[in-house]
Amino acid sequence: MPIRWIPGRGFYANAFISGSVLVDAGVLPMAVEPYRDAIEVIVLTHGHHDHTAHVREIAHLCNARVAIHEADAPALIDETRSLSLQFGARPPGILPDLVLRDGDRVEGLRVLHTPGHTPGSCCLHDEETGDLFSGDTVFSDGCFGRYDFPGGSRESLARSLDRLADLGVRGLYPGHGFPVEEGGDRQIRAARELIRRL
């Protein structure tokens, strides 16, 4: 199925629409409004403010459920975990409708728990197409998300990149930067090699 990219502005994260799933909610609600009738669930790849800033408004706009990994759910109400104060803001102040765990499926996408950037960072994998929504775990330039924020771990992130490198990813749809429709596995392998050298 086609993937729609809604680019993030400034420090705010990209959002993607795959079928009835909106991945991340840092973009302004007006950017999502044209797709409001198609979106049934919002999956947050992790709890940082640049990915969750407008989740409350977008969920209301689309009448959509909100899903996040259980380890990052507290970030929706906690200023320290969400990093919201760094953006001069507050966390969304909501509870998720769905608490995710590794291996769960959301509208055909498999949830992969990939801790390291945050304790509850997740990727969403379309096993039929090989596409991966990677949040801040790995980017399309062969880099990876920071692990020096509260709850981050270089060792966990390295293990997560090892796991992703074995998937044979085709399209890579990251939280920041440009997506790539082919060769995503090469970018993941490059990120894995980079973190091993640190």
Neighbouring-strand partners of residue 100: 69
- At residue 198, the pLDDT reads 85
Half-sphere exposure of 161 (CA within 13 A, CB side): 28
Average pLDDT, the chain: 97
Query: What would the pLDDT profile of 152-196 be if each residue is shown by its tens digit?
Result: 999 999 999 999 999 999 999 999 999 999 999 999 999 999 999
Q: Can you list the alpha helix ranges (DSSP code H) found in 63-138?
A: 79-82
pLDDT interval class at 142 (50, 70, 90): very high
- At residue 20, the pLDDT reads 98
Query: What would the pLDDT profile of 55-113 be if each residue is shown by its tens digit?
Result: 999 999 999 999 999 999 999 999 999 999 999 999 999 999 999 999 999 999 999 99
Q: Can you list the alpha helix ranges (DSSP code H) found in the chain?
A: 29-32, 49-52, 55-62, 79-82, 154-165, 184-197
Give CA angle at 23 (101, 134), nearest 5°.
70
- At residue 193, the pLDDT reads 97
- Is the pTM higher than 0.85? The answer reads yes
Tell me the domain boundaries of the chain. Answer: 3-197
Tell me which residue of 72, 182, 68, 195 sits closest to 144, measured CA to CA: 195
Neighbouring-strand partners of residue 111: 124
Question: Does the structure show a pLDDT above 90 at 18?
Answer: yes
What is the third-level CATH fold of 3-197? Metallo-beta-lactamase; Chain A (3.60.15)
